[in-house]
Amino acid sequence: MSTYSIVIPTIGRASLWTLLDSLEKTPGLRAEQIVLVDDRRDKIALDLGQRNGELLRRISIAHSYGRGPAAARNVGWRLTSSEWVCFLDDDVVVDENWARNLERDLALAPWNTGGTQAQIDVPLPEQRPATDWERNVSGLARSHWITADMAYRRAVLERTGGFDERFKRAYREDADLAIRAHRCGFDLQRGTRRTFHPVRPADRWVSVKLQRGNADDVLMRALHGKHWRALAGSPRGRFPMHVATVASAGVAVAAGLERRAPLALAASLVWLGLTADFAWRRIAPGPRTADEIATMTATSAAIPFAAVFHKVRGFLRLRSMLEGAT
């Protein structure tokens, strides 16, 4: 039987306790080690002693001091010694057969299989259409090699060096490791175990904040070439249209300052048309409540500018990295 350990990076969210409760309830959990890596900047004690259960007495706690989930996972797996390391995010819930199916996934993995991913389910409301944020999270069910629940052979982690800690947020660090695992000759596959990823509450500006990931896309291209999206199984998205939206707004402002009214009007109409099209594409499949429509309208106007800003920030960060390496 293949041996495995579990590594859970966390920032102390309430969802962590839901995950631990679900692990407590899954029979046959034979993890050699369970490592909880606290990634908060301050060394705040996670008080596990207030909860009962055999699982909690088996947990080891480590700290990565706010260096991001990639660094937290590296801290965790390097404290283990098992053949496999299963990474779980602190906002998922495993099903009652998870442990047995994990062992089955690992046992059936051929020698050249370096990783196995769970089937991810994102529960969505049945009584109404999903909101834009809920649809965004539901995309995790179709994502490749996400570390919401991903087990890697120790050989893969040692050969690749683990997660690239230049990825500071929970975005692209999993795809980067998967590409490097493939390049080392390992296959990755989907297993049979099931893990649920509930949609956590989020404020109305969450879609704007997510545009920070455009900076990580710059690093992915630098590391893996222009075809990195195909390697990672990641769709291209709407970024070219965001560039066009920002450019038309810039032309409108510049033309207005130069008192070139026809050009300013034309550019303004282009900006308005692109923004309206983007907003409607997000509004149409949703519940179309007044709050959702207002949120989609406001964020659709802001997202193109946020996306372009963070892409430029990514290029500047990459240049700084390259200058620092010379």
Q: What is the pLDDT of residue 46?
A: 75
The rounded percent of the chain whose pLDDT value lies above 70 is 97
Q: What is the pLDDT of residue 52?
A: 58
Beta strands at 187-196 and 113-121: parallel, antiparallel or unpaired:
parallel
| 322 pLDDT higher than 80 | no
What's the burial of 44, exposed, middle or buried (CB within 10 Å: 0-12/13-18/19+)?
exposed
Q: What is the pLDDT of residue 320?
A: 86
Residues 101-141: tens digit of each pLDDT: 999 999 999 999 999 999 999 999 999 999 999 999 999 99
Mean pLDDT of 6-26: 93
Q: Which residues make beta-bridge pairs with 117?
A: 150, 190
Q: Do residues 264 and 252 make contact, with C-beta atoms less than 8 angstroms apart? A: yes
Q: What is the pLDDT of residue 95?
A: 95
* Distance of alpha carbon 258 from alpha carbon 264, whole angstroms: 9
**DSSP annotation of 165:** T
* Distance of alpha carbon 4 from alpha carbon 317, whole angstroms: 37
Residues, the chain: 326
Mean pLDDT of 156-171: 96
Please name which of 278, 223, 280, 274 lies closest in space to residue 252, comparing C-alpha atoms: 274
Q: Is 268 helix (H, G, I), strand (E, B) or coil?
A: helix
* Distance of alpha carbon 27 from alpha carbon 167, whole angstroms: 35
Question: If you count DSSP H runs as helices and E runs as strands, how many of each does the chain have, helices first?
Answer: 13, 8
Q: What is the pLDDT of residue 51?
A: 60
Mean pLDDT of 229-233: 92
**DSSP annotation of 197:** -
| 179 pLDDT higher than 90 | yes
Average pLDDT value for the chain? 94
| 89 pLDDT higher than 70 | yes
- What's the gap between Cα 45 and its chain centre? 26
Q: Name the least confident of 27-31, 49-53, 168-172, 276-280.
A: 49-53
Residues 27-85: tens digit of each pLDDT: 999 999 999 999 998 877 676 655 657 777 789 999 999 999 999 999 999 999 999 99
Domains and CATH numbers, the chain: 4-202 (3.90.550.10), 239-325 (no CATH)
The number of C-alpha atoms within 13 Å of 15 and in the hemisphere containing its C-beta is 18
Q: What is the pLDDT of residue 156?
A: 98
Residues 192-218: tens digit of each pLDDT: 999 999 999 999 999 999 999 999 999
Q: What is the pLDDT of residue 212?
A: 96
CA 79 to each of CA 37, 61, 133, 258: distance values in angstroms, whole numbers, following the listed order: 10, 10, 36, 63
